């Protein structure tokens, strides 16, 4: 129990061969606000966030060679704003509600069969549903996606120097979508408000998508300390009628007991974002193909002490066939139609990652993670590269906990992340046809928000009794009370701006009982 939500976890054995565990969590921010804010309060909106999630895990092992597991989990989140004075939002808007609701569930059944030391087989069957309902005034987006996923993976070891892993993948999606909305700006486009009078509607009921796949990987150990993993993956995307073949190779060499070298190269494909309407005939381009990425990586692992591990990896990604917004048109069914997207984009991502871990010893555990990267892309029709919308040069996280006497524990976390790129507004012009000012933008993503910096602190105290334990904790978020920037907001004629800030210092007090 804490100030945001409460949760319950239960685990119990069922005989000698089975066990079950279950948990549930529910927030009560909506109950607090409903009781605190009076009905006649002089406010313009009411915010009612609410979330809950649940999990169920069951395991049954009738014999050493057979292991069966069932895992069910789900979540439901709702956020709603009811406006008291919608007229201030403009004459092009109707209604008074802004709401966003998402929910999902998954049921995953796993059967692992290990009849001998050299062979094992694992079959997984997953069934689930994702559902989303979004509304902003008269515009809305409602979708339901049913997903079935089957994977069978087999591994056979001929000897200590040779093993083979192979498997089959099959994913089935069933989409139902109902959307009425203006065309929102895409990645890299100007972030000005879209034209509310240029809205599109699309309805898709029972769209079936099949994604069969197969993969093979060899494990070769020709020399002492050398591991070579060549493999490939085959996929077919029924919605875009495309088959892909992706070879991959990973190599690892244990140079000495504390030092290991590693490298890899691989080809990866990703289909266009159906949930964003990229292949929809009204919002996108139904002729899009899969995006392509060639990954390279090389690194070293060093363990100077038994409980300390350092991992440094450099990486480079070459992106091609990238889905990109375009102003080009095409002839479809004898009618000139905006193409909206094509596969003429490209990109590159490069950098390095550093991870240092100190495993639990001498009452201390902690880790450091740092990423230095640059993500650039070339839009369709352009000859120059620009930053991706969410490029982040520096990402640093420090975490540590220390166990004190008398069952006290103190922990802290420090995060520093480069601010997101932003396109500066250099001026504005008045557009009489829509009675609104339109921004004039500078070079795309030529500026950045200030960095995100946050320091968190947590103190735990545990009391141990004969049959149960009680833990009380104080979790202080944003101890430095830093006003972290999230976005830049402008007034109606873009002559003034201010940075939208995140939460100030936020304490969370909680209790946890274990029986």
Q: For position 335, what pLDDT does the model report?
A: 84
DSSP structure class, residue 195 = P
Cα–Cα–Cα angle for 323, 327, 331, nearest 5°?
95
Q: For position 183, what pLDDT does the model report?
A: 65
Residue 217: closest CA among 279, 274, 166 = 166
Cα–Cα–Cα angle for 456, 457, 462, nearest 5°?
145
Residue whose pair of structure tokens reads 């079959």 in the numeric block: 123
**For residues 231 and 218, what is the distance between their CA atoms, to the nearest angstrom?**
6
Cβ(509)–Cβ(477) below 8 Å = no
Residue 144: closest CA among 14, 274, 38 = 274
Q: For position 39, what pLDDT does the model report?
A: 63
Cβ(452)–Cβ(481) below 8 Å = no
Q: Which residues of the chain have pLDDT under 50?
A: 42-44, 87-89
Cβ(23)–Cβ(57) below 8 Å = no
**For residues 394 and 344, what is the distance between their CA atoms, to the nearest angstrom?**
29
| Secondary structure of residue 290 in the 3-state scheme | coil
Q: For position 43, what pLDDT does the model report?
A: 46
DSSP structure class, residue 2 = B
pTM for this model (two decimals): 0.84
Residue 45, both tokens: 């909106």
Q: For position 129, what pLDDT does the model report?
A: 96
Q: For position 42, what pLDDT does the model report?
A: 43
**For residues 108 and 149, what is the distance between their CA atoms, to the nearest angstrom?**
9
Q: Which residues contact 84 (CB under 8 A, 6 or more apart)?
A: 43, 44, 45, 96
pLDDT digits (tens, 9 = 90+) for 297-350: 999 999 999 899 999 999 999 999 999 988 888 887 788 888 889 999 999 999
Q: For position 464, what pLDDT does the model report?
A: 94
């Amino acid at each position: 129990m804490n100030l945001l939500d409460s949760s319950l976890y239960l685990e119990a054995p069922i005989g000698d061969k089975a066990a079950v565990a279950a948990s549930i969590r529910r927030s009560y921010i909506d109950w607090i606000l409903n009781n605190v804010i009076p009905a006649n309060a002089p406010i313009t909106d009411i915010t009612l966030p609410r979330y809950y999630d649940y999990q169920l895990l069951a395991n049954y092992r009738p014999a050493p060679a057979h292991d069966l597991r069932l895992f069910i989990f789900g979540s439901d989140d709702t956020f709603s704003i009811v406006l008291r004075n919608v007229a201030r939002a403009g004459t092009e808007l109707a209604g008074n509600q802004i709401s966003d609701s998402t929910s999902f569930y998954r049921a995953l059944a796993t059967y692992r069969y290990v009849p001998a030391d050299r062979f094992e087989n694992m079959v997984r069957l997953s069934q689930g549903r994702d559902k989303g309902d979004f509304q902003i005034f008269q515009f809305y987006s409602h979708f339901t996606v049913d997903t079935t996923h089957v994977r069978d993976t087999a591994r056979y070891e001929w000897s200590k120097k040779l093993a083979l892993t192979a498997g089959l993948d099959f994913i089935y999606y069933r989409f139902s979508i109902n959307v009425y909305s203006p065309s929102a700006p895409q990645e890299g486009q100007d972030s000005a408000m879209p034209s509310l009078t240029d809205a599109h509607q699309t309805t898709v009921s029972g769209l079936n998508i099949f994604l069969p796949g197969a993969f093979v990987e060899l494990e070769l150990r020709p020399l002492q300390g050398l591991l070579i993993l060549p493999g490939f993956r085959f996929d077919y995307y029924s919605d875009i009628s495309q088959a892909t073949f992706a070879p991959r190779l990973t190599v690892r060499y244990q140079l000495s007991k504390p030092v290991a070298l590693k490298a890899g190269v691989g080809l990866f494909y990703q289909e266009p974002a159906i949930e964003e309407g990229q292949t929809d005939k009204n919002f996108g381009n139904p002729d899009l193909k899969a995006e392509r990425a060639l990954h390279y990586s090389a690194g070293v692992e060093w363990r100077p002490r038994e409980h300390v591990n350092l991992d440094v990896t450099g990486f480079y990604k070459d992106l091609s066939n990238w889905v990109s917004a375009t102003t080009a048109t095409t002839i479809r069914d004898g009618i000139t139609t905006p193409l909206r997207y094509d596969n003429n984009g490209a990109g590159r991502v490069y950098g390095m990652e550093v991870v240092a871990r100190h495993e639990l010893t001498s009452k201390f555990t902690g880790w450091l993670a740092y990423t230095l990267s640059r993500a650039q892309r070339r839009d369709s029709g352009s000859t120059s590269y620009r930053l991706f919308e969410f490029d982040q040069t520096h990402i640093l996280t420090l975490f540590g906990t220390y166990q004190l006497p008398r069952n006290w524990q103190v922990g802290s976390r420090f995060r520093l992340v480069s601010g997101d790129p932003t396109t500066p507004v250099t001026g504005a012009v008045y557009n009489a046809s829509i009675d609104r000012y339109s921004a004039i933008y500078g070079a795309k993503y030529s500026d950045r928000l200030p960095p995100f910096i946050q320091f968190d602190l947590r103190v735990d105290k545990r009391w141990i009794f004969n049959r149960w334990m009680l833990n009380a904790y104080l979790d202080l978020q944003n101890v430095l009370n830093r006003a972290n920037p999230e976005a830049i907001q402008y007034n109606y004629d873009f002559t003034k701006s201010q940075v939208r800030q995140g939460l100030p210092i936020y304490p969370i007090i909680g209790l946890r009982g274990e029986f």
